[in-house]
């Protein structure tokens, strides 16, 4: 082994004792040759991510946040979405929290007759509310044959932490009035994955039973900028592009007066003992690769069943965007298998 | 979702129709803040990897390869290693192939009384032979309480592909004379992980039963330079540093006259149907992150039990080098659990 070790470059180095910051030179990067054709083509059609431009997006006031949100494309057409996916979508409230109920048109598929997927959307804790809050839940309900409830939780600028966690707890508590925790899965992508983890930390703290399974799509589990892939994949993740700018600003806005290392804000810092079986997805170009891998390690060290899946060349949450791609089919197809295995 | 999608940058782009090669600018990279203290400190004490210097290592003749090998640190002291780990190490031959037999000093630990770990070493298919071939097997035997046989397979420059696969098959075939395949695990790190996969492809092709479990430590599963992390983590993986240079040269040397996409040379291109339960390890800075993730995906799509683990901030195979670190303890501790679960 020592021979190998030497050739691999571990020996003979030694800038002892100080934190070495590396200066990494410029490079050319081709599209990921071994990704699916759909992903490779999508990357090939994307110009080099404009790092400085993305880093300059730093809303500071409630008005600036609202203006940024208003600049995005409009809300999805729920009727068209429901019809295309073969589900029904209904706006409702549970425990005074706005939700959308999703039901497969053919009804729940075995073994999910008595199961439910509690979905929490992504969008950096600031965006993705309203009708957009149900989009990924529609995919999950359609592919797994499971009814969903998508929570349109309160968000900044009006409602920073802990409003999102409070709303998720309120809906979960209400569901527990009529069903066993083992019949409920909770999950979401990005901030939705982080909120899923924060909610389970909260359930444990207030003495609620944990649900039967979790889905963490590239969870934003650390809002403190400590994850290495935020930096190694900066400018390489074509979705998030850089932490500086919108993400850093959103982290600050969401935390409000609270410490960003609080386990209900950056749930990777919590205790994962007693968590339910958890399915995780990320990609090699994902700026939240580290968040996802770190959560997976914490779960495994705590003895939890945790299933990590990493897609070649995939940026943040692209499995959700590349509808019908192999990355999309595998992510939701295997989530369906996971739910069928672990919900009771 | 569309609102989120827009802010995330997927819309409004469109350099249609040509392969966009991105020019990624220079950056500063701090040590991975959320890695273990042991790993963070090791990275902090490493100067910026010398990319150009590593890329210039391109042996071309048998003499140059031998000179490179001879320049490395000497062979390990097997007596000292055995004594420190609490195992015995014995040189032997099986089916005319040189091997080392490793036995825990206290004997095999339940449930491994009748089990064996068949170990194939790493070193880019050119290095790591002789006494070095047993090093990681010693760790596995000690931590899992399982007897090992480490194969000192033939290598280039004298013996290119398929000698390594032939030797592994010969030893496995001999073991099958006296034991059930379900009692045998096979595995290794880097080229050892790739050779493990190639061997199982070979077993299937010649009608041998597959073993009971596999260990793939950051397997070199694609020798064609197609994996994205070879490029995204170039200069960031402090162990491999760059594909240009020694790795590209070793790939060419090992393949010899054969096509590098041959499934026994680049096993990711093979058919994974019927593979046994497989445990995989890599890191976020690993240049073989993509090789590992791609193999994991292929296994899962083929319906194989496959357990992927990704360590924060870890370069290629560092779990093996950082003896006693959390990365080392978790990698081999969880491998021990995996073997106890899946060997019969």
Over residues A33-47, the pLDDT tens digits come to: 999 999 999 999 999
- A7 min Cα distance to partner chain B (Å): 6
CA-to-CA separations, A256 to A62, A152, B62, in angstroms, rounded: 13, 20, 64
Q: Is B237 exposed, middle or buried (0-12, 13-18, 19+ CB in 10 A)?
A: buried
Write the pLDDT tens digit of every residue in B217-272: 999 999 999 999 999 999 999 999 999 999 999 999 999 999 999 999 999 999 99
pTM for the whole structure: 0.95
At residue B15, the pLDDT reads 41
Contact in structure between A87 and A138 (CB atoms under 8 Å): yes
> How is residue B320 written in tokens?
């093996």
Q: Do A128 and B76 touch (CB under 8 A)?
A: no
Residues of A in contact with B28 (CB under 8 A): 21-24
Q: Do B239 and A8 touch (CB under 8 A)?
A: yes
What percentage of residues in chain B have a pLDDT greater than 70? Answer: 94
Residues of A in contact with B16 (CB under 8 A): 45
- Work out the average pLDDT over B314-334: 98
At residue B6, the pLDDT reads 39
At residue B75, the pLDDT reads 87
CA pair distance B24, B2, nearest whole angstrom: 28
At residue B1, the pLDDT reads 35
At residue A73, the pLDDT reads 72
How far is CA B316 from its chain centroid? 9
Query: Looking at chain A, how many residues does it have?
Result: 344
State yes or no: pLDDT of A2 exceeds 60: no
Which one of A150, A228, A233, A241 makes the best mutation probe of the B interface by having the most chain B beta carbons within 10 Å?
Answer: A228
Residues of A in contact with B313 (CB under 8 A): 228, 290
Write the pLDDT tens digit of every residue in A175-228: 999 999 999 999 999 999 999 999 999 999 999 999 999 999 999 999 999 999
- Work out the average pLDDT over B35-41: 97
Q: Do A7 and B127 touch (CB under 8 A)?
A: yes
Closest residue, chain B, to A43 (C-alpha): B20
Q: Do A34 and B222 touch (CB under 8 A)?
A: yes
Quote the DSSP letter at residue B154. -
Q: Do A128 and B4 touch (CB under 8 A)?
A: yes
Is pLDDT larger for residue A9 or for residue A83?
Answer: A83
- Work out the average pLDDT over A15-30: 81
pLDDT tier for residue B72 given thresholds of 50, 70 and 90: confident
Please count the other Cβ atoms lying within 10 Å of the Cβ belonging to residue B71: 10
Residues of B in contact with A292 (CB under 8 A): 310
Query: Looking at chain B, how many residues does it have?
Result: 344
At residue A16, the pLDDT reads 45
Strand A97-104 relative to strand A87-94, pairing: antiparallel
ipTM of the complex: 0.95
CA pair distance A276, A177, nearest whole angstrom: 20
State yes or no: pLDDT of B12 exceeds 70: no
CA-to-CA separations, A261 to A192, A193, A198, A222, in angstroms, rounded: 18, 17, 12, 8
> How is residue B56 written in tokens?
């210039």
State yes or no: pLDDT of A106 exceeds 50: yes
- Kindly report the average pLDDT of chain B as a whole number: 94
How far is CA B169 from its chain centroid? 18
Buried b or exposed e, range B72-103, using 16+ CB within 10 angstroms = beeebebeebbeebebbbeeeebeebbbbbbb
| CB-based contacts of A131, cutoff 8 Å, min separation 6 | A75, A76, A78, A100
| CB-based contacts of A64, cutoff 8 Å, min separation 6 | none
- B106 min Cα distance to partner chain A (Å): 24
CA pair distance A120, A132, nearest whole angstrom: 11
Helices (H), chain A: 2-7, 37-44, 51-55, 62-70, 78-85, 135-144, 163-175, 191-206, 229-232, 246-255, 289-301, 318-321, 326-342
State yes or no: pLDDT of A51 exceeds 50: yes
Quote the DSSP letter at residue B274. T
Which one of B16, B36, B228, B305 makes the best mutation probe of the A interface by having the most chain A beta carbons within 10 Å?
Answer: B228
Which one of B293, B300, B311 makes the best mutation probe of the A interface by having the most chain A beta carbons within 10 Å?
Answer: B293
Write the pLDDT tens digit of every residue in A231-284: 999 999 999 999 999 999 999 999 999 999 999 999 999 999 999 999 999 999
Contact in structure between B135 and A1 (CB atoms under 8 Å): yes
Q: Dihedral, CA atoms, A311, A312, A313, A318, nearest 10 degrees?
A: -20
What is the 3-class SS of B46-89, one letter each residue? CCCCCHHHHHCCCCCCHHHHHHHHHCCCCCCCHHHHHHHHCEEE
- Work out the average pLDDT over B280-308: 98
Contact in structure between A297 and B330 (CB atoms under 8 Å): yes
Q: A264: number of CA atoms within 13 Å, CB side?
A: 21
To which residue do tokens 């890329």 refer?
A: B55
- B40 min Cα distance to partner chain A (Å): 9
State yes or no: pLDDT of B26 exceeds 80: yes
Quote the DSSP letter at residue B266. S
- Work out the average pLDDT over B171-189: 98
pLDDT tier for residue B19 given thresholds of 50, 70 and 90: low
Q: Which of A171, A139, A141, A167 is nearest to A153 (CA)?
A: A167
Q: Which of A293, A183, A238 is nearest to B35 (CA)?
A: A293
State yes or no: pLDDT of A18 exceeds 60: no
At residue A17, the pLDDT reads 46
Q: Which of B23, B229, B310 is the closest to A296 by Cβ?
A: B310
Q: Which of B19, B128, B232 is the closest to A233 by Cβ?
A: B232
CA pair distance A64, A17, nearest whole angstrom: 44
State yes or no: pLDDT of B287 exceeds 90: yes
pLDDT tier for residue A8 given thresholds of 50, 70 and 90: very low
């Amino acid at each position: 082994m020592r021979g190998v070790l030497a050739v691999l470059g571990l020996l003979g180095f030694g800038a002892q004792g100080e934190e070495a910051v590396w200066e990494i030179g410029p490079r050319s990067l081709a599209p990921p040759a071994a990704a699916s054709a759909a992903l490779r083509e999508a990357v090939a059609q994307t110009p080099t991510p404009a790092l400085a431009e993305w880093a300059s997006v730093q809303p500071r006031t409630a008005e600036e946040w609202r203006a940024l949100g208003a600049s995005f494309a409009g809300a999805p057409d729920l009727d068209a979405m429901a019809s295309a996916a073969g589900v029904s979508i209904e706006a409702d409230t549970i425990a005074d929290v706005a939700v959308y109920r999703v039901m497969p048109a053919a009804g729940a598929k075995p073994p999910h007759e008595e199961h439910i997927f509690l979905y929490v959307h992504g969008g950096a804790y600031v965006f993705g509310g309203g009708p957009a809050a149900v989009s990924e839940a529609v995919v999950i309900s359609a592919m797994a044959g499971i009814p969903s409830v998508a929570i349109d939780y309160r968000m900044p600028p009006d409602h920073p932490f802990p409003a999102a966690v409070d709303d998720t707890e309120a809906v979960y508590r209400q569901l527990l009035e009529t069903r066993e925790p083992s019949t409920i899965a909770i999950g979401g992508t990005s901030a939705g994955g982080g909120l899923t983890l924060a909610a389970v930390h909260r359930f444990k703290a207030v003495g609620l039973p944990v649900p039967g399974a979790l889905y963490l799509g590239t969870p934003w589990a650390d809002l403190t900028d400590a994850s290495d892939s935020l930096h190694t994949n900066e400018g390489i993740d074509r979705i998030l592009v850089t932490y500086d700018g919108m993400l850093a600003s959103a982290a600050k806005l969401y935390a409000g007066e609270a410490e960003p290392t609080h386990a209900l804000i950056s749930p990777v810092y919590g205790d994962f003992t007693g968590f339910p079986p958890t399915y995780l997805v990320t990609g090699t170009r994902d700026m939240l690769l580290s968040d996802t891998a770190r959560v997976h390690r914490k779960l495994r060290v705590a003895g939890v069943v945790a299933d990590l899946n990493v897609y070649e060349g995939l940026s943040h949450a692209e499995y959700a965007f590349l509808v019908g791609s192999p990355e999309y089919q595998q992510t939701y197809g295997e989530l369906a298998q996971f739910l069928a295995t672990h919900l009771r």
